[in-house]
Structure 1
Amino acid sequence: MTNALIVIDVQESFRARPLWQTVDNPGVVANVGLLVDAARAAGDLVVWAVHAEPGTGGVFDPVNGFVRVVDELRPADGEPLLVKYVHNAFTGTDLQHRLTVAGVRSVTVCGLRTEQCVETTARVASDLGYDVTYAVDATATFPIPHWDAPADQSVAELLADPRTLSAEDVVSRTRYVLEGRFATVKTVKEIIGG
């Protein structure tokens, strides 16, 4: 096996937040599902990662029950489910070891958030020598508040603030910084054919 699909943070934690109503790609879960099905059919390794923030009391705190893969998707028997505590799926997990043992040379990354955990995982994977494909339409993100915006800003306030970085701009920027440097950026259709 030389290929792996890394599914990053496609978890209920995000859907439990009010910000979910602003998700830029409502079809992200379905698109991730297409990649998972294709990877399984090809005999590729599928690795799942979820983000946890123990002790915070929020939706990423495991005690609240949201730190789990979304209900529509499920890891199959034998597919590892890693818990990560930082932005990339390598640091603090045994992901690199699992990929090495399986003989993986190329990875496809997908999940949440486009510019955060998925992009960071793509960059680290590239630095570790993997050939990286970034599945742009199997990722999703949200508008990003200005760094001076109040931490308790409502979704309505976020959207009304002219300093907010739009999700569209976030995705565009991510494509620019990854393509040809850290990854090949492709759509799900380009990855699985059809």
Structure 2
Amino acid sequence: MQDHNDRAREAIERAKGNVVHSIAETMDLYGVTPSAGRLYGTMYFENAMTLDEMKEELKMSKPSMSTAVRTLQEINVVHKTWQKGSRKDVFVAEKNFFKSLIHFFCIKWMREVRLNLKAIELSEVDLQAVIQNTKVDKAIRADAHRHFELIHESKKYYYWLEMLVDSFETGDIFRYLPIPDDDKK
């Protein structure tokens, strides 16, 4: 009986290890270091952890652990919570990948939209000034006009991206791409 229990525990640890490793490997897509990814993967299987518990589990220094937790909090995959009877900060991992993905990408996409639309707006003003300046060579004005048309056309993408973000934030995206209710595709 003990031998069966030991093998079962080993199988559970191996399964958790596989998932933790895969999460750590893919977290770089989110700009997260592998050690922070391992932390998130570890926390994913736990209900709540203190910094000391994280440090012990992952054998990392407390400053490294604090940095990793802060990084994970910034992308909204780890949250500080209150636990009755504990004076230490307690953290929990977001287990809803849909919620994490939506939050993360919406922040990134809206930053892209704001930065690029602002740059386009400023550039259009400059290019319009060149286009309308009759003292400037006709070939230069034509070049400015070509550049104006290019960047003006790119605004469609940024407006579309804004709509995509809105569809994620409102949940409308799930009307078109519903979350499967089982493990089938």
TM-score normalised per structure 2:
0.24
Larger radius of gyration: 2
By percentage of residues, which structure has more helix?
2
